[in-house]
Every structure is written in C-alpha cells, then in structure tokens.
Structure 1
Amino acid sequence: MLGYACLNRTLRDRSDPVRCNRDMRRSTWESEGLPYASELTRQNLADLLTVLRWNRDHDVRFYRCTSTLVPWNSQFDLTELPAYDAIEGLAQRCGDLIESEGMRLTFHPDYWCKLASDSRDTVERSVEAIEYHADWLDLMGLDRSPYYSINVHIGATYGDKAATADRFRDAVRSLSPGARRRLTVENDDNRGLWSVEEFASAVSDRVGVPTVFDYHHHCFTDRGQTFREGFETAAETWDGVRPVVHYSEPKRLRDPEARPQAHARFVSDLPDWLRERADVMIEAGGKERALDRVRSS
C-alpha cells in the first residue's frame, strides 16, 4: 500500500474545508475548556471519516492521521468530553471503515515527543502523548499492533548514546500494553543521531519496538549500509507485521538553497522493491496529489 500524511489538499481546498487538525491556543483552552475541546474533537472525527471515505473511493489504503485529532487531550480523559457519546460513535465508524476496507491508519506525534530525554518532565509528557494516541486507536476499535502504529524518533543522543538508549527502553517498559504494542521508532536525519542499524540492536531487539525505515533519512545515517541493506535491517524487526517505510526526495534536487533534510513537493522515483516489501508513506508537500503522481507514473 501507498499512503500520504495528514492533510488532504483536495478536500482542504473546498469552500467548506475538510480537515482533522482543528486545535486551539493555551489561552483559548483556559477560557473555553472542555466544551470547546469536545466540539473540535467531534468536528475533527467527522472530517476524518470524510477523509477516509475519500481515500476508499480513490483506492488509498494507508493514511497517517494528524496528532491534533483531540486538542489538549493531555488535560483530560476522553470520557470527560461533553459530546463523548457522539465522539465515540464517530470514532467507531472510522474504525469500522478502516477494518472493512483493509486500511492502515498510523500516527506520528510531534517532534517534541522524546521518550529518551534527560528531562524527567519531557519523558512524562512524551509517555502521556503516546498513551492518548493509543486511546484514540482503542476508541476506533483497532488492534493493538504496530500495524496501527504510533511512530516516534529518539531525536537526540544527549552526549551519551548508551544512556539515551537505556532511558528509551525504560520509557517503553513504562507504557501500557496498548501503547507499547503500537509503538515504532524511526531513523533520524542527522549524521550524529540514530541509524536503522543502531535502533535494531539497541531498541528493537531489546524491547520489541519495530524500526521504521525512512529512505531519505538513511542518506544521513547509513553507517555504510545500502538502502536495501538498511531496509532489510529494519524489516527484520517487524515480526510478522508488514513493515512501514517513509519515502521522500530532497527538495534540494530542485532548489539548491533548501536544507538537505527538506522534503520535495513531489517524488519522481519510488523503487519497485520497496513498494513490494512494505507499506510506503509518501512524505511530500503535495500530499495525496504526490501519491497520485507516483501511482500514475
């Protein structure tokens, strides 16, 4: 399967835009509280259902949902929302559609979500974020499996990779079963950070967290492995579940001034072997339009 992330530009550009990322600032949360969070959540889930139906009608079976699906969920339990019954019903309809159509839904919490941080407060907030993402998947009735993954980066070494890996493993062990079984970890895009090979040995083999192979990031952290070798290292960590791969091309190919890590708006060359062996998330600014170009090329 091929997929795209978060924003559907076709639906977003309508006169009545469809989007799942309605959010609010702290000041609004403090003044409007649960009733407004509840209404935004209801609208987000209703629009998620619309996006999933659009995906079904266009034969898109892989989708990464935004992490602002439930605004300020760190401050409350889902059952506290005034419109919880309606929200639960919408979530279950989303889950039923995903299952009946053989779709795959994943999440990728924001970059601040660092389970291996040397700040206890950051780790606690990160664990909390993973847990509420797992709650959303539970509300949809989806399996507790990396098939419906919550993907994170380690994102730093804090001057000591071994100690950082220890903290990450400890944080993983502290997760609830539903969160832990869905967690995946992705190779980084900085040469001094984490490679696929390092994740496989320090994380996946030790606590059973599958490694997501990011094709573009592998350019920065290949550690001598070819793309195929890096993918095979990651694929072996998935234990019977079809692997997820992220694929993008550098914006610098068309814009020499762009950062090396920046993603292009479209991609031109998705290797056949990658498509055959994994479900591939196309990470490109063109979103579903980039995916359509890949499929028609």
Structure 2
Amino acid sequence: MKIRFGYVANAVGLWDASPSKTLTFTRYSTLPECERMEQLKSLTAQNLAHTKRILYYNIAHEIEVYRFSSSLVPLATHPEVMWDFLTPFKNEWKEIGDLIKKYNLRVSFHPNHFTLFTSPREEVTTNAVTSMEYHFKMLSAMNALDTGLINIHVGGAYGDKTKSLERFHQNLKKLPKKIKKHMTLENDDKTYDLLETLTACEKEKMPMVFDYHHYVANSGEIDLPLYLSRIFETWRNTKVVPKVHISSPKSEQAFRAHADYISLDFVLPFLKIAKELNQDFDIMIEAKQKNLAMLQLIEETAAIRGVKRISSSSVEW
C-alpha cells in the first residue's frame, strides 16, 4: 500500500509567497475606476507567481499532492465584477499547467462552505454554480482537467436533512455535466456524516473524499471498517487513487478546529484500518503548519514497524 502526502495552499517557510492575496469589494469600490482593473490584475499576477514558486518547492521536495488556493483571483465571482481573468494570464496558467503535467502533480480545489446545493434559496444555488464554474475555468486554463478535482461539502440541513438531501440532488442538476465530472463530496464535522455523504456520492456516481477528523467528530454509530472500502470504490472510474483528508483536533474544547500539527496517535487507528484494504491512496494534510506538519507526519509514519519511506512525501506499508 502506497500513501502519498500533500498539503494546502501555502508553503510555510517560503518568504512572501501567499497565493491568496485578495481585495475586498468595499476596497475595490473606493478605487478610481481607472485603477480597479489594474489592481485586480496586479494581485492575480502575484498569486500566480507565488503559486509557481510553491510548485517549484513541491517539485524539489517530491511533493506530488497539492491543493490550490481558491483565492487565486480576487473578486472573480462577485456579481458586480466578474472579470476576464483568463486571457491576460494565458501564459501564466499554461506555465502552471506545464509543471503539473511534467511532474505528474495531483492538484485540486476546495471552494468555500458557501458553495453548496442544499439551500432552498435559488440565489445560493446560482452562486454555487458560479463558484464551481470559476474553479473549473482555472483547471481548464491549466490544462489540468485530466486529474484535477473540485471538492465541496453537501451543505446545510435547514431543519430537515431528508428534504435538504433531496434538494441537493435536484439543485445539482443545474451544474453543467462537464463540471460535475470533476466534483467530489466530503463528509463534514457537524451535519452530513460519512454514510449520508457516501450515499449521495453513490447516487450521483461521484468520488467521495473521506475526512477522518470530521468522521470522528460526527460519526454517529458508523463503523468505519464497514464503509471505507465502499468509499474507496467510488474512485474506481477516475484516473486517480482515493484521497483522504487528515487533521487533528486543536484541543478537547476546540475539537473541530485544526491543530498546528498532526497527532500520529489520533490518525493511527485510521491508517491501520486502511492498511487492511491494501489500497493505494493520497492524504491531504489540513493543519495550520501546512507542509511542515506534513513532513513531520511522514517522518513519524515512516518510523512505524513495517512502513518504508520511498520518497520525501510518500511511504509504503
């Protein structure tokens, strides 16, 4: 069983390399009209340049799994802005895509929690479609649609989970099929648990991203060994291995919040369950210390009897 590890957005330790420099609409509105587009382009140029720096860092450290920041383009989906962020940066998007292809990187996006399809309000669904289109356009501009995926949560319950799930499947029909093909669903820590998310994925024939921390926080009576193989099975018709999210509780009092680093003791029960399935998969580290937390967990995992480190960011068990 091979496990590759990756991290989210920022490479801690790289100076001034945030790929998420942004501009609020309030600030944008106060700018003279002649400066607005210039500011949007300047920030986007910085974000794309920093993303390339991070990818070069990943390549140097053999890190093949990476999640892009969703804030690469300021105000890209704001209804009063929605500007053309593709044409002016055609070369930059291509350069990023060339790195992805040359080094066989696995990349993804995770839109914010407002991107959901369970709301009874039509404008929320419309905004969710707009958000998914934005992320799809970026993957397309990078020519990364072959393996690139966009991961979201099911959404809110609105006082009635059954009706909300029905609404999810109905509202999802408004998402263009070409975009839905690149969509995954993740179980959350408060509302839709492992089984509810898995059932939705199986119905929609889409892969499920399993979040172990969320599962522990919101497991109900679900026995993970009974369902993990079904979760992995949802990836069968994709070109990539299953992906799992790993994080640790910040504290007992703030159990749902992410800690700076990953506790091996916390995630080891999951790793042992996964080992029994002998299925290759990738782990996305969701910790405050990003790549540093990832590298520490790899070191600790590789020290387990029977585990062999085979690259800077992967192990074999």
Structure 2: gaps (5+ residues) = 301-317
Counterpart amino acid of residue 173 in structure 1: K
CA distance in 1, matches of 2:258, 2:213: 9
Counterpart amino acid of residue 204 in structure 1: C
The CA deviation at 1:77 is 5.7
1:266 pairs with 243, 261, 278, which one?
261
The CA deviation at 1:102 is 1.2
Question: Are 2:295 and 1:289 aligned?
Answer: no
CA distance in 1, matches of 2:63, 2:212: 21
**Conserved 8 A contact 2:10-2:54:** no
CA distance in 2, matches of 1:251, 1:220: 12
Asked which structure has the greater RCO (Cα within 8 Å, sep 6+), the reply is: 2
SS in structure 2 of the partner of residue 249 of structure 1: coil
CA distance in 2, matches of 1:150, 1:260: 26
Q: Deviations over 1:172-216 (max 9, x none)?
A: 2222233211111111101xx111211222x21222222110001
After superposition, residues 46-195 of structure 1 pair within 5 angstroms as 46-75=49-78, 80-81=84-85, 84-85=87-88, 87-144=89-146, 147-190=147-190, 193-195=191-193
The CA deviation at 1:73 is 0.8
Q: Structure 1 vs Structure 2: percent identity of aligned residues?
A: 28
- CA change 1:188–1:156 in 2 (3 A) is same
**Conserved 8 A contact 1:249-1:264:** yes
CA distance in 2, matches of 1:153, 1:160: 17
**TM-score normalised according to structure 1 size:** 0.88
CA distance in 1, matches of 2:82, 2:155: 28
Q: Deviations over 1:43-73 (max 9, x none)?
A: 1111111100100101111111111111111
SS in structure 1 of the partner of residue 125 of structure 2: helix
The CA deviation at 1:27 is 2.1
CA distance in 1, matches of 2:284, 2:153: 16
Q: Deviations over 1:150-193 (max 9, x none)?
A: 11112321122222112222232222233211111111101xx1
Q: Deviations over 1:13-41 (max 9, x none)?
A: x2xx1111010011222234332212211
**Conserved 8 A contact 2:110-2:150:** yes
**Conserved 8 A contact 2:217-2:255:** no
CA-atom RMSD in angstroms: 2.0
